[in-house]
């Protein structure tokens, strides 16, 4: 999946038997902050999903976006070493509220 931008890709299946949404599998990948103190909470930094037709094992569509947390100081400098996500990258990303409907649509 392409990182750093919101992108949804629809792939034509050309007569695939996987026409009903009930026969789709969704694989998720989520990157979060890692709180250093107990009172701190996890914050989502990236959401990715791949929708697959299980009968044919083909990708139907995918979606990936970075997510800007309310407090950019929650993104530690060490984050870029482990997952490649930087404060600068998430500063330009949409807030969760801006992509929540898209994520909901993928999961339902």
Helix-, strand-, coil-residue percentages of the chain, each rounded to 5: 25, 30, 45
Note the pLDDT of residue 40.
Answer: 73
Note the pLDDT of residue 5.
Answer: 42
Note the pLDDT of residue 4.
Answer: 45
Query: Which DSSP category does 72 fall into?
Result: G
User: Average pLDDT for consecutive 10-residue bins of the chain (108 residues)?
Assistant: 42 46 86 76 92 92 94 75 82 96 92
d(CA 45, CA 28): 13
Mean pLDDT score of the chain, rounded to an integer? 79
| E strands, 1-108, in order | 7-10, 25-32, 44-53, 58-66
* Domains of the chain with bracketed CATH: 7-107 (3.30.420.10)
Token representation of residue 57: 């094992």
Answer for the pair 90, 71: CB distance below 8 angstroms, yes or no. Answer: no
């Amino acid at each position: 999946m392409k990182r750093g931008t919101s992108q949804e890709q629809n792939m034509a299946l050309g007569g695939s038997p996987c026409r009903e949404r009930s026969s789709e599998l969704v694989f998720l990948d989520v990157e979060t902050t890692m709180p250093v103190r107990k009172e701190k909470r996890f914050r989502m930094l990236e959401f990715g999903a791949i929708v697959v037709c299980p009968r044919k094992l083909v990708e139907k569509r995918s979606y990936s976006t970075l997510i800007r947390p309310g407090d950019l100081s929650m993104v530690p400098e060490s984050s870029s070493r482990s997952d490649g996500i930087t404060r600068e990258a998430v500063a330009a990303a949409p807030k969760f509220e801006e992509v929540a409907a898209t994520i909901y649509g993928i999961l339902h």
